Amino acid sequence: MSWRYTAGRFGEYAAVLGVALTLNFALPRALPGGPLKLFGSPEALARLTADERAQLATQYGFGKPLPEQFLDYLTGVFTLNLGTSLSDGRPVTEALGEALPWTLLLVGTSTVVTALLGVTLGVVGGLRRREGKGSGLLSTAIVLDSLPQFWLGMLLIVLFGVQLQWLPTFGVSGIEGVTVQGVLLHLILPVSTLTLTGLGYLFLYTRSSLLTVLTSEPIQHAQARGVPYGRLVRRHALRPALLPVHTILMMEIGFLAAGSIVVETVFAYPGLGRLTFGAISARDYPLMQGAFLVLTLLVVLMNALADATYPLLDPRARR
């Protein structure tokens, strides 16, 4: 039964990945403009004849019929040959390899901070829901959950970078000149933006999950039998309440990587998000496809990891 279940889940993820690969190929080509605008202004391209434009497109692999382009794209994905960026002539894998570690550092740091603060405050808000502290935390979480990332990022830049001049506002120096202190200083504002905008949702979900467990019949019966409230919470309420939070947190890692496009663009952070934004602006099809592929794989991988680790936390799921 376990092998059948594993094979079924693997098939589901393979189907999701297949759909994602198809959309990854189709969506860039649905954008207006096309990749030829990289090679000159609209006026210059307008002066080219139809044969010259067709020759230029064929040279860069866009003159073939779409089925052939799609087959070449799939072949490149499975051979890790994602083509050459039209923007700067670098191999796409090289560009992705340089940008991905910066995004993983940003998203990983933000996830750890968000998890610690969100879960802790969510538990406090659930346990003290009838007190002033619980109401204040709930109101703050709702406000944070509604803040747009770009607006909060620019607000932090103005406050801490321009007015107070405590922190750098954008970018990271070249790889050779990077120091640990420099990396940490450039991380503070982007991590703060991702953390504050993600904190409210995790707080609300943790609080709601804990309240659901505390108001369930087994907990109510145990409390009626005289089990001390503190022991009831520690031994019987926290673990089942945090199980769904684990799943949400694992999925949030993938979504944070995709959502880092806005934050990395605001702070000119040299990660995958900024690379994706630049590729979209330039209609750089190979780089767009490579960046979208990595972001898709991160989301699918985090979902698979959540499925794989959930039975380790909940013995009921093993059956």
Residue ranges of domains in the chain: 2-78, 97-318
- The residues pairing with 33 across neighbouring beta strands, listed in sequence order, are none
* Predicted TM-score of the model (pTM): 0.77
Q: Where does residue 305 fall: left (phi above 0), alpha (psi -120 to 50 degrees), or beta otherwise?
A: alpha
- Counting beta carbons within 10 angstroms of the beta carbon of residue 294, is it exposed (0 to 12), middle (13 to 18) or buried (19 or more)? buried
Tens of pLDDT along 304-314? Answer: 787 777 777 76
Residues 6+ apart with CB under 8 A from 120: none
User: Among residues 314, 130, 271, which one has the least CA distance to residue 214?
Assistant: 130
- For domain 97-318, the CATH class is mainly alpha
Cα dist. 299→12, 92, 295 in Å?
Answer: 14, 20, 6
Tens of pLDDT along 169-196? Answer: 776 755 455 677 777 888 888 888 888 8
Tens of pLDDT along 102-160? Answer: 888 888 888 889 889 988 888 888 887 766 666 788 888 888 888 888 888 888 888 88
Please tell me the distance from the alpha carbon of residue 245 to that of residue 247, in angstroms, as a whole number.
5
Residue 84: phi, psi to the nearest 5? -120, 135
